[in-house]
Structure 1
Amino acid sequence: MTSGEHARHGRGAAVTLVVAGLTCQEVGASIAVILFPTTGAIGMVALRLVFSALVLVLLTRPRLRGHAAGSWATVIAFGVVLALMNALFYLSLERIPLGAAVTIEVLGPLVLSVFAGRRAASWLWAILAAIGVALLGQGSFGHLDPLGVALAAATGATWAGYILLSARTGRRFPGLDGLAIALAIGAIAILPFGIATSGAVLVRPEVLALGAAVALLSSTIPYALELVALRRLPSSTFAVLMSLAPAIATIAGLLLLGQTFTWVAVLAVGLVVAASIGAVRTARRAGGDAPAPPTASP
């Protein structure tokens, strides 16, 4: 195998890892939806963040001393936004299908890419995405609960904030220390609400086991797969692949949750995916960052 063939093979394997990571995320979200009648949305968020934090803290053993006050302010904000982002996303999943929720929330990173692009062409992608989201409301996933739509949109806003805070935290903390600390802060922030809404059901063995599975599928495994993929893929290519999340979520909702949709939904999701890819590429050509959805995304 020549060096060029080896490189192409490596890129192909990396693409497979990214798609596998996205699939794991949506399978994890589907399991969470199935558990909602038992744990409630906030209880499920608490379980996911607690287990995710435990795994990453044990793996990284982050250093807590020697950080400036500004660094702590950043990582605390990061953790709180992380908890809020996941809470809003799971609350939206109680009311609207998985595919619709992910399609709407992707608008947050997409808008961030539009501003990073700093070109008039970037706004064309925003208009295309708006058309796609408007089509979602035309019965493509059935009736979409207005509150669920609002919660998904709020998730997108916090997701954009999460991306920015993730970058700042990465500059202030070495390796994965910042993410581990932020996850722990997010878990501590959401746990009292999870206990208040779900009570003793959270410590039932079967619920703990499924909560751990959701954490592994939604956070730990995707993070590991994407970390390996990023060693072989340019960040811009990675961002484009992450734009496939709405399509994968729609398929997962159909196969795992029985959430049906019409061809209008296929068109709507396709428009948002195309707009997200276009915005990422425009931002890259403009010389700005092309922010991709972070691994700890909802």
Structure 2
Amino acid sequence: MPVEVRRRVPAPLLFVLGGVSMYVGAALAVGLFDTLSPSAVAVLRLLGAAAVLLAWRRPGRSAWRGSALVGAAAFGLATGLMNLAFYEAIARLPLGTAVAIEFCGPVAVAAVASRRPRDVAAVVLAAVGVLLIADVRWSGSPSGVLWALAAATMWAAYILLARRVAVSGGGLDGMAVGFTVAAVVLSPVLLASPLTPLADPQILLLAVGVGVLSSVVPYVLDQIVLRRVGQARFAVMLALLPATATVIGLVALGQVPGALEAAGIAAVVAAVALRSRDGDVHPA
């Protein structure tokens, strides 16, 4: 995306575009659950994203050394573990429940980073909106709840580490390095699944597609957004994801939201608008 065009596009719109890409990738991932475990799908998604980013960016030697490598590796592992834990959670819990629990992470980041009363109000609105949209049901296996809480923890870590990678000046290169390190570290997870499907070119092609749509595109847009807004505002904007999913369900699948879901969407939009009016100090 050209720099001038990128600057003219509002940060919330960029974030929504990333969310749309993420959910299209999730639709592709559903087809992989029939032949592979959720953890294996998450690792294949990471491998696909790493391969595409390495071919695109070709990070120089400096990106593989010292503090740059450590920061990128921590970011990549947080991202990979977040995806792995979430896939395992939705295999055991209703999607709405898993999403609601996972949102404890970004909401906590926003609350800790808040400094003004309107920030707190925005966080409360976002939390209420997410709970309404997700239609939380506290049922399911204890292991599913633990996986969802693990995903929430990794999501909070992702926000903090992604911000550091973004402002360090090596955002996309750092992402390529981080995803590569995480793919290598987590690749033994694939051994827990049958290896026969991995020989199918169609499976591998789907994995690359899931990696690009669910990781490369949304996380690249995250880097752009993070350069323009603070951590608290970014964490509130994450609440747009369930709203985006609801709209996609309405348009593509004819899923009409109920009264609670509509109220949740309104609360989320209000939270983003409230927080957006307060300008953050932009990083140099």
How would you bin the TM-score normalised by the shorter chain? 0.7 to 0.9
- Larger displacement relative to structure 2 (86-95 or 165-174): 165-174
* CA separation of 1:289 and 1:95: change in aligned 2, threshold 3 A: farther
AA matched with 2:202: E
Q: 1:265 aligns with which of 249, 261, 268?
A: 261
Q: Which residue of structure 2 lines up, in the alignment, with residue 58 of structure 1? A: 55
- Larger displacement relative to structure 2 (147-156 or 191-200): 147-156
Q: 1:94 aligns with which of 91, 94, 99?
A: 91
* CA separation of 1:288 and 1:172: change in aligned 2, threshold 3 A: closer
AA matched with 1:38: T
Take 1:50 and 1:200, find their aligned partners in 2: how far apart are those partners? 17
* CA separation of 1:207 and 1:255: change in aligned 2, threshold 3 A: farther
Aligned residues: 276
1:249-288 equivalences in 2 (<5 Å) = 249-252=245-248, 262-272=258-268, 274-275=270-271, 278=274, 280-281=275-276, 284-285=278-279, 287=280
Take 1:259 and 1:163, find their aligned partners in 2: how far apart are those partners? 31
Q: Which residue of structure 2 lines up, in the alignment, with residue 217 of structure 1? A: 213
AA matched with 2:121: L
Asked if 1:25 is matched to 2:22, the reply is: yes
Helix, strand or coil at the partner of 1:38: coil
1:98-177 equivalences in 2 (<5 Å) = 98=95, 101-132=98-129, 135=132, 140=135, 145=140, 147=142, 148-170=144-166, 174-177=170-173
- Larger displacement relative to structure 2 (182-191 or 264-273): 264-273
Where structure 1 has 5 or more consecutive residues not aligned to the other structure, the ranges are 1-6, 291-298
What CA deviation, in whole Å up to 9, does each residue of 1:37-95 have, x standing for no partner?
Answer: 21121111111100100111111111235866444333332222121111112122223
Deviation of the 1:145 alpha carbon: 3.0
Q: CA RMSD in A?
A: 4.0
Take 1:134 and 1:183, find their aligned partners in 2: how far apart are those partners? 31
* CA separation of 1:123 and 1:190: change in aligned 2, threshold 3 A: same
Deviation of the 1:26 alpha carbon: 0.8
User: In 1, are the aligned partners of 2:97 and 2:138 still within 8 Å (CA)?
Assistant: no
Q: Which residue of structure 2 lines up, in the alignment, with residue 194 of structure 1? A: 190
User: In 2, are the aligned partners of 1:89 and 1:151 still within 8 Å (CA)?
Assistant: yes
Where structure 2 has 5 or more consecutive residues not aligned to the other structure, the ranges are none
* CA separation of 1:103 and 1:180: change in aligned 2, threshold 3 A: same
